[in-house]
A and B are shown apart, each in its own frame.
Chain A
Amino acid sequence: MPNMIVCVKQIADPEAPAGSFRVDESANQVVPAPGVSQVVSPFDEQAVEAALRIKDAHGGTITAISLGKNFVMDVIKKPLSMGGDELVLLQDPAFEGADSRSTAYALAMAIKKVGEYDVIFCGRQAADWDAGQVGSGIAEFLGIPSVTVAKKVEFVDGKVKVERITSDGYEVIEVSTPALITISNELGEPRYPKLKGIMAAAKKEVPTWTAQDIGADASQLGTAGARIKLLKVFQPVKEGKCEIIEGESPEEAAANLALKLREAKLL
């Protein structure tokens, strides 16, 4: 039975209206809009779902690991309420200011501490910074193969069969274990937690590990381990000069739109 690990990240809800999004350019920070809730990054929820589908078919265990701060327990326990077995939080000031590399290093060290694993799942990218590098980084630090942007994962005869999305369809890849797979939205909707799962998750003790707990080399963590620096973050200016085409009825407005496009030589 496969031992599986899923890496998840808690972020501000990426589905929040674009209009509520603000950047503090002087502080190089994204300002959380009031009322926007914290969620598990959607691609990571799908990574949990990918692991659960294998557990449904073959049994095994699922350990979720999350690196971050200001954890909202009801949110970050979602992998457990969906059907995962264990959750480990990584929290330490030493992890802060990390780039994809130092994040991947910390997660890889935590995975080593968890011990035996057959498959590690990650979302294809976190839906905040959209870098899409941490999965590959963990695989590189652990020296295991990786397959990225998958839409289907199966366990077949001790190997992992992955459908990996390409520009014109997908390719079917077979990879030996242990392996790391990153999951894309095409996997399909993650399951809703059941009441029983939510109650069990609420009672579950969740350990928090520090840099020392995972035996990490401080020079590889956080800002010290980062190889790239964010110079500035800014919001592109939008012109917003839409000409609204009117009409007595929706049908007339539609016809006027067609006429307008003809006039503008777009038809």
Chain B
Amino acid sequence: MADNKGVMICGEITEGKLAPITTELLSGGRKLADTLGGELSAVLIGSGIGDLATEAIAFGADKVYVVDDPLLADYRTDSYVAVMEKVVKEVSPNIVLMGQTAIGRDLAPRLAFRLDTAASMDCLDLSIDPDSKLLLQTRSVYGGNAMGTYVCEGTKPQIATVRAKAMDPMAKDDSRKGEVVTIDAGLDPSMIRTTVIDKVKEEVEGIKLEDAEVIVCGGRGMGSTEAFQELEALAKLLGAAVGATRPPCDNGWVPAAMQVGLTGKIVSPTLYIAVALSGASQHMAGCSGSKNIIAINKDADANIFNEARFGVVGDYKKVLPAFTKKVKELLAG
């Protein structure tokens, strides 16, 4: 498979726009393509894609493959794997990147196995080995306690999914030129074995965690739904979103959509106030991109103090009300 050339990203579309992960992948893919001296292509799959191909070019793509078909309106494993298999076989890319998202984490392994190659999931860093010119895929393992660097030596394409916010998107440049190629989906509806019968939004009201500049996050030590209402009060003052570690979600104190971590949301706010959470690596995997972490925890040995910039060692039941009161004073004055 020496003929495989170029870097391809598999874009995602949310509510008629390029999803943030798409522009992040375009930026990461651009660097790899430039290092290898090759082309960066994007695949956009969906129904009614319209002008988004031009947008993908403005964000860094040289070529955009558009696969537009009513059967592709919903993400379904069978249809999307079949489309990607077809596109990859036609284009023969050297590298294929996807997001570590509900779509990418489902699509990448099945596509890799169908093409008899391999995928690396949840990569934080991608680079080209100067000697072998192969893709070095560095991902978090053991719940974020360690990192592993992988290489796919004998098969192509090299496939990786990339964690949200691991790569900064490039500025949009509308003067960039590129080519748009339409590919027929060629789907037989009878091969799609799943049906999406409902989509349920569970967004928590207010600011989205992924977009928030300030986040107040509570852990197992909060102990109850009521305790989270205290966090809400602080969040309201700060214009912040409220997050949670896994135990409060699993215990039903707060909705699952509030979970920050390896299996929850990936966030990177300017200010992350961590209350009564120990800082387990599985949680830190979701928030270690925060610029400033503030810890309030009664256990001075808690790992969160290794991650934080400022901290108070104390029972949140005493610290939090006093902190909220002082913040209110400062913001008023």
User: Could you tell me if A245 and B106 are in contact, using CB atoms closer than 8 angstroms?
Assistant: no
Nearest residue in B to A172 (C-beta to C-beta)? B198
> Is B287 among interface residues, defined by CB-CB distance under 8 A?
no
> Is A57 among interface residues, defined by CB-CB distance under 8 A?
no
User: Could you tell me if B102 and A257 are in contact, using CB atoms closer than 8 angstroms?
Assistant: no
Report the bound CA distance from A125 to B264 in whole Å: 13
Report the bound CA distance from A231 to B263 in whole Å: 25
User: Could you tell me if A231 and B136 are in contact, using CB atoms closer than 8 angstroms?
Assistant: yes
> Contacts of A238 on B, CB cut-off 8 Å?
306-307
> Is A50 among interface residues, defined by CB-CB distance under 8 A?
no
Q: Which of A14, A145, A235 contacts B146 (CB 8 A)?
A: A235
Please classify how large the interface on chain A is, using the bins under 10, 10 to 19, 20 to 34, 35 or more: 35 or more
In chain A, positions 117-173 with a C-beta closer than 8 Å to chain B are 124, 127-133, 136-137, 139-141, 145-149, 151, 161, 163-173
User: Could you tell me if A173 and B141 are in contact, using CB atoms closer than 8 angstroms?
Assistant: no
Report the bound CA distance from A17 to B143 in whole Å: 12
Report the bound CA distance from A168 to B20 in whole Å: 14
User: Could you tell me if A229 and B150 are in contact, using CB atoms closer than 8 angstroms?
Assistant: yes
> Is A241 among interface residues, defined by CB-CB distance under 8 A?
yes
Q: How far is the CB of B277 from chain A (nearest CB, A)?
A: 13
> Is B271 among interface residues, defined by CB-CB distance under 8 A?
yes
> Is A1 among interface residues, defined by CB-CB distance under 8 A?
no
Please classify how large the interface on chain B is, using the bins under 10, 10 to 19, 20 to 34, 35 or more: 35 or more
Q: How far is the CB of A192 from chain B (nearest CB, A)?
A: 15
Report the bound CA distance from A242 to B208 in whole Å: 28
Nearest residue in B to A17 (C-beta to C-beta)? B303
Contact flags B118-148 to A (C-beta < 8 A → 1, else 0): 1111100000000000001001111101111
User: Could you tell me if A236 and B121 are in contact, using CB atoms closer than 8 angstroms?
Assistant: no
> Contacts of A186 on B, CB cut-off 8 Å?
249-250, 256
> Is A259 among interface residues, defined by CB-CB distance under 8 A?
yes
Report the bound CA distance from A210 to B237 in whole Å: 62
Q: Which of B119, B146, B305 contacts A244 (CB 8 A)?
A: B305
> Contacts of A174 on B, CB cut-off 8 Å?
194-195, 197
> Contacts of A176 on B, CB cut-off 8 Å?
193
> Contacts of A148 on B, CB cut-off 8 Å?
77, 105-106
Nearest residue in B to A16 (C-beta to C-beta)? B145
Report the bound CA distance from A173 to B125 in whole Å: 33
Given A165-B102, A173-B197, does the pair A185, B246 have CB atoms closer than 8 Å? yes
> Is B313 among interface residues, defined by CB-CB distance under 8 A?
yes
> Is A254 among interface residues, defined by CB-CB distance under 8 A?
yes
User: Could you tell me if B118 and A184 are in contact, using CB atoms closer than 8 angstroms?
Assistant: no
Nearest residue in A to B300 (C-beta to C-beta)? A244
Q: How far is the CB of A205 from chain B (nearest CB, A)?
A: 34
In chain B, positions 276-330 with a C-beta closer than 8 Å to chain A are 279-282, 292, 294-296, 300, 303, 305-315, 318-323, 325-327, 330
Nearest residue in A to B247 (C-beta to C-beta)? A185
> Is A74 among interface residues, defined by CB-CB distance under 8 A?
no
Report the bound CA distance from A257 to B234 in whole Å: 14
Nearest residue in A to B333 (C-beta to C-beta)? A262
User: Could you tell me if A254 and B270 are in contact, using CB atoms closer than 8 angstroms?
Assistant: no
Report the bound CA distance from A189 to B257 in whole Å: 17
Q: Which of B101, B102, B197 has the most CB of A within 10 A?
A: B102
> Is A75 among interface residues, defined by CB-CB distance under 8 A?
no
Contact flags B188-209 to A (C-beta < 8 A → 1, else 0): 0000011111111111000000
Report the bound CA distance from A230 to B297 in whole Å: 37
User: Could you tell me if A145 and B151 are in contact, using CB atoms closer than 8 angstroms?
Assistant: no
Given A227-B117, A235-B147, A251-B322, does the pair A185, B263 have CB atoms closer than 8 Å? yes
Given A18-B281, A258-B330, A261-B294, does the pair A250, B314 have CB atoms closer than 8 Å? yes
Nearest residue in A to B202 (C-beta to C-beta)? A169
Given A251-B322, A255-B325, A257-B319, 14 more pairs with CB closer than 8 A: A18-B279, A21-B146, A133-B108, A147-B194, A165-B102, A169-B199, A173-B196, A186-B256, A229-B152, A229-B153, A238-B306, A244-B311, A254-B319, A261-B294
Q: Which 9 A-B pairs have the closest CB atoms?
A: A227-B118, A254-B322, A169-B202, A258-B326, A228-B118, A133-B109, A251-B322, A145-B193, A250-B314
The interface of chain A, by Cβ under 8 A from chain B, is 14-15, 17-19, 21, 23, 30, 99-101, 104, 124, 127-133, 136-137, 139-141, 145-149, 151, 161, 163-176, 179, 184-186, 188-189, 226-236, 238, 240-245, 247, 249-255, 257-262, 264, 266-267
